[in-house]
Structure 1
Amino acid sequence: MPNSELMPIGAFARRCGLTPSALRFYADSGLLPPAEVDPLTGYRSYGAGQVARATALRRLREIAMPLPAVEAVLAAGPEEASRLLDAHVAKVVGGAAAAVRGAAVVRASLGGAPGVPIAALKGPVLADAVEQVLSASAGDPETPVLAGLRIEADGEEVSLTATDRYRLCTRTLVPAGAPGRAWAGTVDGGDLRAAAPAIRRSPLVRLEAAPHGIRIRAAGREDRYCRLLAGEFPDHRPVLASLGEVTGRATVAKEPLLRALEELPGDRVALHIADGAVDVRPADGGRPGTPLPATTTGGALRIRFELTTLHPAVSGAIGPDVMLDLRGHDGPVTIRSADRGDLTTLAMPVPAP
């Protein structure tokens, strides 16, 4: 390479945002050898064509990527490099989440106060309920409390509620042991999802109120701690109490309804309900619908939904059939399991054009 195209190590360091000592380290590790080394002085020089590699190396190290992974990314093609980056980010995010949970457990134990019993519940039932209800939660950074699960216990039953403002899902569980105490709080949804597999494998779990969270205890297993979220959870009771009168109902098989929703193009769906059928079609009417046999009452109705609102509400239902409680084309629809009334989802339609 002509000397005119070479830069001394100091100038190259400024160009790519690395220090001279870092460049020497990466040269000695084989990741970024200099273009030329003066045999008499040992001075190192770099070429302009090495700036892009040096900059990429710096950025990879800034996201805490270890040297072997950096070397693999720099040697890979775009597709493989992207996969390696995604794998590294997933590992970092998972480690950070584990650190947050671990810190919460330590923080809760610092006070030394014993947990206060809330309720004992069957593990598989609680795990199912957590996953079903959390399907209606939201990942809204402006309102982090909507990413949580509202747990309310009155000693005789435990209710779980989540909402993203377009859906509201609630399920009520009956304690498996002696009545507990009254308690209410909004628990971090991510912590509960992480704990769900262990809960499912436990015949019986006990919920205890702990400082800044709840503790989930099961015989023969390590306690799981789930944090409380700050902020006021929307009071869903007035919403449920103020629902308009049900003017019609449709009971339809769950799996065919889900398949029809999944096969639709676009992000909005229209349900035409009349004469013993639920017809599922695109909201824009651009193609024929899929008629599904149903048991219906009330007058004919056409109601539109965002697919991301309706599909999770239907998929979370228990049993082979779902029941839709209808309140006109612009009223909220209550989606229930036809044979299990303790899981209820409220879905808001979108206005007709």
Structure 2
Amino acid sequence: MRLTISEFARVVGLAPSALRFYDDCGLLPPAFVDAANGYRYYDRSQQPRARLLRDLREIDLPLPEVRIALDADPAEVADLVRSHLRTLEAKSTATRAAAERLLTQLVSHRTTAVIGGPELASAIRQVAPAAAGPSGGHAASAGGVGAGELEFVLSCVLIELSPEEITFVATDRYRLAVRTVRPVEFGGVAGRVLVRAEELAGVARWAAAGDVVRAEVDGGLRLVRGDESRELAVVDAEFPAYQQILDGLTPPACRVVVDRVGLLDVLVGRDVVAFDIDSESLRIGDEVKLDAIGSGAVRVGFTASLLAAALEASVGPDVLLEICEPARPVVVRSADQGTFTTLVMPVRLDG
């Protein structure tokens, strides 16, 4: 008995439009087509093929594989379905992960980073002293920054968070300190926050007591160590474009490695010091000479207290000085910790 396309569609659970499409594809042609009016008619014997076609399409099996399955034995069809399910599961996992990343970016501004406690404490102790002293002013807006507002901003530490590294930056215009730390874990989107140096310095000892500290940024900055946490207010202000300063540094004309503690001792009780540096020594007039290893030669002056602060924040027995020219920032690197860098402005020497 022949069935019209509408009748056959109801029996097998396919829409008439789908039957016309599968006819055009050659997957399920009707048993008879009336030449006079073009009406399609189906035979009841076609019902198993139509139902199989329906089920294969419901699991989104691609048409080329459907074509194979319709004429294959049940075992081959089962293998095709299992393989397709594995593909769907893998795609579902990837889709879910991508959707979660997208939702995190669109819906939540929360960023989390897990940092080693001692590393966090070390970064704070090295960078926070480079910030300007408290000004008692008000936070600057993203617009123009006045002198008082800039003074307030410079009393803060910039913290930049990304999956690759956490960067701590502070400056008082005469000194710039930068320290990077690799996060143990990272979640959310990259971002930056500005916090008062004084407040950040206050949690250094607390952070050092934990194996890890989790930093959570969501409107404010929350540091979590075990069951304890510390809340730090975030300053809404624009921090100076420090990266432009670093990128603008020219290759050093003179590089010298010198004893850090010995150089610190030389600076005690002095105001301004003039160094004559070459590849073998660092001299202050005829009174002091420190052995050095490096290249190039230069005469350069420093405010003793500024250079001493940079040396105190460094670690290890030696320190590396990189000098472009006497009037440009001098890079002070810790020989034992390449992730910490300080820039110190030299002073002009008479004569």
User: TM-score when scaled to structure 2?
Assistant: 0.62
Residue 301 of structure 2 corresponds to 304
Q: 2:124 aligns with which of 115, 124, 130?
A: 130
Residue 328 of structure 1 corresponds to 325
* Aligned mates of 1:207, 1:249 — CA distance in 2: 37
Q: Does 1:345 align with 2:342?
A: yes
- Per-residue CA deviation, residues 8-57 of structure 1 (Å, 9 max, x unaligned), is xxxxxxxxxxxxxxxxxxxxxxxxxxxxxxxxxxxxxxxxxxxxxxxxxx
Question: SS at 1:135's partner residue?
Answer: helix
**One-letter code of the match for 2:288?**
T
Q: Does 1:194 align with 2:202?
A: yes
Would the aligned equivalents of 1:120 and 1:206 in 2 still touch at CA under 8 Å?
Answer: yes
Q: Does 1:217 align with 2:215?
A: no
* Aligned mates of 2:133, 2:336 — CA distance in 1: 31
* Aligned mates of 1:204, 1:318 — CA distance in 2: 21
Q: Does 1:208 align with 2:210?
A: no
Question: SS at 2:210's partner residue?
Answer: coil
- Is the deviation greater in 140-149 or in 202-211? 140-149
Count of paired positions: 230
Residue 233 of structure 1 corresponds to 239
Q: 1:292 aligns with which of 290, 305, 319?
A: 290
* Aligned mates of 1:254, 1:180 — CA distance in 2: 40
Would the aligned equivalents of 1:118 and 1:182 in 2 still touch at CA under 8 Å?
Answer: no
Q: 1:161 aligns with which of 152, 155, 169?
A: 169
Would the aligned equivalents of 2:255 and 2:295 in 1 still touch at CA under 8 Å?
Answer: yes
Overall identity of the aligned pairs, in %: 34
- Per-residue CA deviation, residues 174-224 of structure 1 (Å, 9 max, x unaligned), is 00124553010111111111111111101100000132x200001132x10
Deviant stretches of 4+, over 6 Å: none
User: TM-score when scaled to structure 1?
Assistant: 0.62
* Aligned mates of 1:208, 1:139 — CA distance in 2: 26
* Aligned mates of 2:284, 2:187 — CA distance in 1: 45
Greater Rg by CA: 2
Q: Does 1:182 align with 2:182?
A: no
Residue 259 of structure 2 corresponds to 253
**One-letter code of the match for 1:174?**
R
- Change in Cα spacing, 1:138 to 1:291, as seen in structure 2 (3 Å) is same
Would the aligned equivalents of 1:115 and 1:208 in 2 still touch at CA under 8 Å?
Answer: no
| Alpha-carbon distance, 1:275 to partner | 4.5
Question: SS at 2:130's partner residue?
Answer: coil
- Per-residue CA deviation, residues 57-96 of structure 1 (Å, 9 max, x unaligned), is xxxxxxxxxxxxxxxxxxxxxxxxxxxxxxxxxxxxxxxx
Residue 73 of structure 2 corresponds to none
Where do 5+ consecutive residues of structure 2 fail to align? 1-107, 136-147
| Alpha-carbon distance, 1:131 to partner | 1.0
Would the aligned equivalents of 1:280 and 1:289 in 2 still touch at CA under 8 Å?
Answer: yes
Would the aligned equivalents of 1:119 and 1:181 in 2 still touch at CA under 8 Å?
Answer: no
| Alpha-carbon distance, 1:115 to partner | 8.8
| Alpha-carbon distance, 1:309 to partner | 1.5
- Is the deviation greater in 289-298 or in 114-123? 114-123
